[in-house]
Amino acid sequence: MAVMLHPLPACVEDVSVPKQFTYPFCYEPHPHCVAAADEVRRYVGQHEEWKEELQRGKMFGVLIVKKRDGMGFFAAFSGTLDGKTQHEYFVPPVFDLMAPGCYFQEEETAISDINRRIALLESTLQVSPLRKKMDEELAAYREFMQQSKAKRDALRRSISSDEMGENEQILVRESQHQKAEYKRIKQDWERRVYEDETSLRAKQEEIARLKKERQERSQQLQQWLFRQFTFLNARGEEKSLLDLFSPAIPPSGAGECCAPRLLQAAYKEGLQPLCMAEFWVGASPTNEVRLDGHYYPACRSKCLPILRHMLEGLDVEPNPLLANQEELLSQLHIIYNNKELAVVSKPSGMLSVPGKDGLPNVQDAIKSAIPSAEGPLIVHRLDMDTSGLMLVALTDEKYHELQDLFLHRRIHKVYHALLEREMPVGQEGEVDLPLRPDIDDRPRQMVDKVHGKPALTRYRVIENRDGHAFVELSPITGRTHQLRVHCAHPLGLNNPIIGDRLYGMPDKRLMLHAYAITIEGQTFTDTMNYVL
């Protein structure tokens, strides 16, 4: 199938070309991408046969490329659409698992056949009916032995040791005989059952053999598949999934997202990528927060190793999260310090604890500002994008004391947030949605009523400002991204916080501020980094 390159809409003809390619893990979509995404949404909306699937939600992507006579864009969808990996409007997959005659399909069919054979054999497994008779006879004989033992014990209690004499030897021999008889009866039954279950054992052995074959074929197929997914970069270099994730095993679905598909198409066509964006169409999934029309960064667990390779040779924007880090240090303020406890105001964009990138963070900054501080220091954290108050222990004893206060919920926090849409002023209530990490797309969190940890947030709408709800949020529990998910999720407030690049729309910053914290009757408020 030929790769379709679409013309850019006329509305962005005069918009300047981006100077650098999109940093795919944190970005604001370029106007060219927004216009192209609108074209894709119009196109998919014309296909009635896709309507039901799109209502359930799907990720799409666009890539703006430079061509000889101007610019154009490629479009992609993640995974499959209408049960197919290819449609004429979209770029093809990096490797087509569903191509007719594909070895993958043949092996999948063979493995499915093995599964059916295992299921059929397991449905016919039946133990010998002699087992029930054996259990009944052995149980009856054990009961007889217990009754005999009780009689012997009663006899020993009823007569003196002098009177026992030869009777003791008789009683001992009786006990030994019964034990030996029980052993003989049990062995005889086990032999009869063993002979009667010859067919059962043959089926069990066949099931074990089939399961081993299934495991071996599945592993071989997985390795074969990983070798088929090969990715180009701007230098023309090619690497497979095995190369990119080694020594780890690539996660399921790696290489099937929009971004790798789009870049692969551009490189194969010899076109220069200019900018890219991925966006959601349809309803949000039950567990994740994906809102219709919102743009999302590429997932890290599946795409980071792939895109790190595919972007080599391109002039890529720097990670915006790493910008102005030194300036952030000047915005970190210590608003209280009694030599045991410090209360600090953290700016948006600063980490709470050291990360792998060696960026400025609250913990290192406090160690530098207060050299006498000892112990773990950081008792609780704020997201990198969240501003506001943090408690910092300056002694080991205070650290454990604060841990205990948090554990028993004797420290109370109040956040202020500005949401994307208006809400009725005065509305208040609770959001109770259990959360767990999205293991395929960290650090995102997802709602999981089976495996998630309890998460409870109280909220109150204070006022509306220029079309946005200004709300007060009080977390009763302290889960990662709790307030962000509870605001954005359709079962929560269904109203993302402005600037939430993970669960809403990117903006200049996340409009979430830890405004007040109360500890042992003392309340601290933060206006130092307050921008709401």
User: Which positions are annotated as active-site residues?
Assistant: 383
**Taking CA 525 as the corner, what is the angle to CA 520 and CA 526, rounded to the nearest 5 degrees?**
140
Count of C-beta atoms within a 10 Å radius of residue 2: 6
The number of C-alpha atoms within 13 Å of 252 and in the hemisphere containing its C-beta is 1
Percent of residues in the chain assigned helix, strand, coil, to nearest 5: 40, 20, 40
* Beta carbons within 10 angstroms of residue 296's beta carbon: 24
**Dihedral (CA of 251, 93, 53, 278) sign:** positive
Q: Distance of CA 491 to CAs 245, 280, 289, 494, Å?
A: 36, 18, 10, 7
Q: Please give the helix or strand (H or E) that residue 31 lies within, else none.
A: helix 31-45
Length of the chain: 532
What is the greatest pairwise CA distance in the chain? 119
Residues 6+ apart with CB under 8 A from 485: 289, 433, 435, 445, 446, 447, 455, 492, 503
| 409 burial type by CB count under 10 A (0-12 exposed, 13-18 middle, 19+ buried) | exposed
